[in-house]
Structure 1
């Protein structure tokens, strides 16, 4: 009987350790992207996923390749953080940046709304931009 309790406690301990390790692996699985890194996922290579960042969070938008793939309407947004363009609903080259300086309150609210209701709701998070490590959106 004592042997059985030892095995049960040992099994429970192993299970707790395994759960902890799996949690650590999952929390560390998000990649840190530099602007150069994310550019590789701009839809130009059909063998690679398509990534874009909004508010410093990198999303895999490959399931929307009809919108974001090479030659598609919103391809200009991928391979970078295009937060300003998303906020302004603009594909102008000057707006395809993470810099949201000077945006109106309404544009910032629109950015937050699109971030939550489109990107967070629809696409998996695969990482964060290197400049966004202090705000990793752990609530996603």
Structure 2
């Protein structure tokens, strides 16, 4: 089955029920997407599918034909680049394990709500961070939103 990942087509010979997470990691060698819980609760495996944040550990590859998948390994667009810069500015990661999924969840949020409130961020970013850097994550998302608004002028 063909999958469009990070702008490139990949022919995948896998069971259509295989979770996208394992197709990315084991079949394609894209290990930036992390395994956390396997039940879509933690968000470490978050990727974007057609611009929406999706938990890849429960998303069967057979449901993704014709959809654009973005992982953290993809070339950053301006939204992801702004978030990555804000992550560094605010020294957001500690262990870093959850960060690839967190950044892609934040990118999906900023594409939908370019000026999110704290409540918007709290509602959209349900990813778990065992280091507890939620205040830095929120600050980084606000900084990225401001930078993106400034770059549109």
Q: Please classify the TM superposition score into its range, dividing by the shorter chain length.
A: under 0.3
Bigger radius of gyration? 1
Larger helix proportion, structure 1 or 2? 1
Give the TM-score taking structure 2 as reference length. 0.24
